Every structure is written in C-alpha cells, then in structure tokens.
Amino acid sequence: MDEKKEIATKTCPVCGARLDVNATRCHVCGAVLTPDGQVSTPPAMHKSRIPAITLSLPLALGLLAFFVALGAGMVYLALQKTNRIAAPTQIPTATATLTPTPTVTPLPPTPTDTPRPTPTPFTYIVKQGDNCGKIALAFHTSIQSIILQNNLSSSCTLRVGQRLLIPQPTPTATPTPKATLSPAEATRQACQKTTYTVKANDTLSGIAAAYNVPIDAIRTYNGLVGNTVLAGETLVIPLCMRNAPPGQTPTPTPPPPYPAPSLLIPVNGAVFTLADNTVALQWASVGELRDNEAYKVVVEDLTADRGRKIVDYVTDTKFVVPSSFRPQGTKPHIFQWWVVTVRRVGTDEDGKPIWKEAGAPSEKRVFSWSGAVAPPTPTP
C-alpha cells in the first residue's frame, strides 16, 4: 500500500490557524501573508483583541446551575414581598384499596343441652338459741328440707356446735298481685244496672217511680246535682237499689268474693320449742273489710288422738295461739292452720252470729310445737 504524502503547512502568526504552505491569506482571521510566512497586512479586527477565556465543562455547568438558582431565589423574594405567592395545593395521595380475600366461614357448632347444676348445700354451725324454724326462716328454706338433708328426726332436735347442711332454696315465680277493690267499688260493680234514654216531658221522679228506684240512688249513680233531666240524656238505673215491696226487707246484693289470704309467718314447717310460750300467726290483708266481715282462723292439732281445734274470728291480720292450746309432755305436736274471709249472714237461736265464707281459703301450713312439762302434783 502506498504511503500517504505528507502535505506541507504553515501557521498563521496572528490566530495560529494551520494553513497551506502556499496560502497568501489566512481564511480564519483574514491576515495577508508573505511568502516567507510573515504578516503583510494584519486585519483591523485583530488590532484590539479580547483575551479568550477557556472553561472546563463541569465548571461551566456548575456556574449555570448557580446563576439559575440565584435568579429563582430573587424571583421568590420579590413575589413574597408583594403577597402574590399562592399556597401550594395538597394533592391527595391515592391509596390502593385492597380487595378482601373471601374466607370460608365454618359452620356453627351443633347446640348441645347443658344440664343445669343442682344447688349445692352449704354448712351451718348451730349456735346457742337456734332451732330449725329460725334457721329455715333465715336461709329461706323449709324445715322439712333441713330434716331430709341431714337425716334428722321429725322433731328436728339440734345441739350447739352441730354441723347442718342447708339446702339452697328453689327459686319460685312470684305470683302476680291481684287488684283488690274497695268495698264501695265492689258493691258498685256487683250491682245490676240498666240504661234509660230520657224522652220529652220525662221527669226524674217519674223515671224513679217507673223503675221503683229511689231518686237519690239515680242521682248518685249518674252524678246529678238536682232533679233536672234533659231529653236525649242517658241515665244509669241501679236495679239493685230498687225499693222492696211492702212488708219485705230489701236484700242487698253481695259483693264479689275475696281472694285467698296470703300467709306470712310462721313459714311452713316452722319449729317452736320449750322457750316459746305462744305462737303468732300472720297473713296479708285482702282489703278493707265491712262491718259484717271477718277472718276465720282455724288451728288444728294433728298429733292429738281425737284432734284438737281452734276456730276463731278476727278483724285483724294476726292471731296468737294461746299457751293453753300448747300440748302437754315433751313430745312435739304437729299443728295445721289456715285462714278464710267470712261474712255474717244472720244469728242462730242462741244469738251467735252465723258466718258464711266470702272468698277462697288460704293455703294450709304446718308447724311443730314442743309440749310443756306438766308441773308435779303437790304432796298434801
């Protein structure tokens, strides 16, 4: 391969550009050159030449960034002084919503019958002066339950320091109390009545005479002040207040029967010892009794051979069993008692009142009572 021929060149003494050796003018600065490479006529523009400054690329970029930041800072300060800078609007960040993964719900367990726990009895230490009746009343249970729980005798004899198992009482639903009417309201509701519409030319006296009912009774049942009635007015006529025929005494309409009295104390199965000289019975009132009404109290000795009984009539809601009814001897007796509301309907040949039951009898309760030791017969 032929070697390339080396081309002869020369340098412009003005601008330093590399020229052909035969060039007579510099094509860069325009200087006229002589054959020996000297400048014949230098160009006018090079008479006062500005010195050239040479910068590296990183330095130039750094200076550019500095001047841009400086200009931005000056613009920001100028706008801040004129209050023309708007607060930047916060752009909410989009939150990715996770799609819940469906989970398999297990089937509910099959319900099973859970047996109810039986109440567990607790232990009680007998103290001085205790008896089965007091203990049963304090723990809201019955004497019979204590006897069965501890395998005691029917007399329920205890000793100080003895350990007793007290059964838990079984909860019972409280009966809904029944509304008790006052005597006047009960009589008013039991009265037979009818209605009458007043016609033209009717008078209260004429209406009363037609139904054989006193005018006062019609006024009372209808709330009338005088004897004036108006056509079209509806009156209630109390037929139960009609006058009796001549020679006969009117029979008053009896009120509705009373509810059964609710017994309070003593509790069923209570025990009374030698220290108790009397026994007090008490029950809840069934309402205000009339003058011819009372409570019939029955106390019966179930242990006696032929049976001993007390039947008494009281208007109070308590009755004290007298000490004379207390059994003799040390063996306790079982007594049964109940109460019923009665109404006097007349008198017998001896002048004693005749009573008739005016309501339902109460429940029957029992209690035990230890007999008193008969005093020794004095020796003459």
What confidence tens digit (pLDDT) does each residue in 205-229 have? 889 988 888 988 888 888 887 888 8
Whether 31 is covered by a domain: the verdict is no
C-alpha gyration radius of the chain? 62
Whether 59 is covered by a domain: the verdict is no
Q: Are residues 323 and 272 in the same domain?
A: yes
Q: Are residues 281 and 321 in the same domain?
A: yes
End-to-end CA distance of the chain: 184
Cβ neighbours of residue 119 closer than 8 Å, sequence gap 6 or more: 167, 168, 170
Least confident residue range of 60-64, 97-101, 234-238:
97-101
Whether 227 is covered by a domain: the verdict is yes
Between 92 and 155, residue with greater pLDDT: 155
Q: What is the pLDDT of residue 174?
A: 47
Residue 13 has pLDDT above 60, yes or no: yes
Last residue of a domain, one of 136, 166, 196: 166
Q: Model confidence at 363, in pLDDT bands (50, 70, 90)?
A: very high
Q: Are residues 222 and 267 in the same domain?
A: no
Q: Model confidence at 1, in pLDDT bands (50, 70, 90)?
A: very low
Q: Are residues 314 and 218 in the same domain?
A: no
Q: Are residues 220 and 316 in the same domain?
A: no
Q: What is the pLDDT of residue 283?
A: 93
Q: Are residues 159 and 188 in the same domain?
A: no
Q: Are residues 271 and 336 in the same domain?
A: yes
* CATH at residue 324: 2.60.40.10
Whether 332 is covered by a domain: the verdict is yes
* CATH at residue 202: 3.10.350.10
Q: Are residues 221 and 282 in the same domain?
A: no
Q: Kind of pairing, strands 308-314 and 293-301? A: antiparallel
Whether 4 is covered by a domain: the verdict is no
Tokens at 80, concatenated: 């801040």
Q: What is the pLDDT of residue 39?
A: 63
Q: Are residues 359 and 282 in the same domain?
A: yes
Whether 95 is covered by a domain: the verdict is no
Identity of the highest mean pLDDT range in 95-99, 182-186, 258-262, 367-371: 258-262
Cβ 379 vs Cβ 338: under 8 Å? no
Closest by Cα among 318, 298, 296 to 308: 298
Cα distance between residue 130 and residue 135, in whole Å: 7
Q: Are residues 365 and 268 in the same domain?
A: yes
Whether 364 is covered by a domain: the verdict is yes
pTM attached to this predicted model: 0.39
How many structural domains comprise the chain? 3
Least confident residue range of 19-28, 97-106, 345-354:
97-106
Which helix (H) or strand (E) is 244 found in, with range?
none
- b (16+ CB within 10 A) / e for 185-223: ebbbeebeeeebebeeebebeebbeebebeeebbbebee
Q: Are residues 160 and 188 in the same domain?
A: no
Residue 261 has pLDDT above 80, yes or no: yes
Whether 337 is covered by a domain: the verdict is yes
Q: Are residues 210 and 299 in the same domain?
A: no
Tokens at 315, concatenated: 């208007």
Q: What pLDDT digit, counting tens, does each position of 32-80 carry?
A: 777 766 666 555 554 455 566 666 788 888 888 898 988 888 888 877 7
Q: Which domain holds residue 315?
A: 263-369
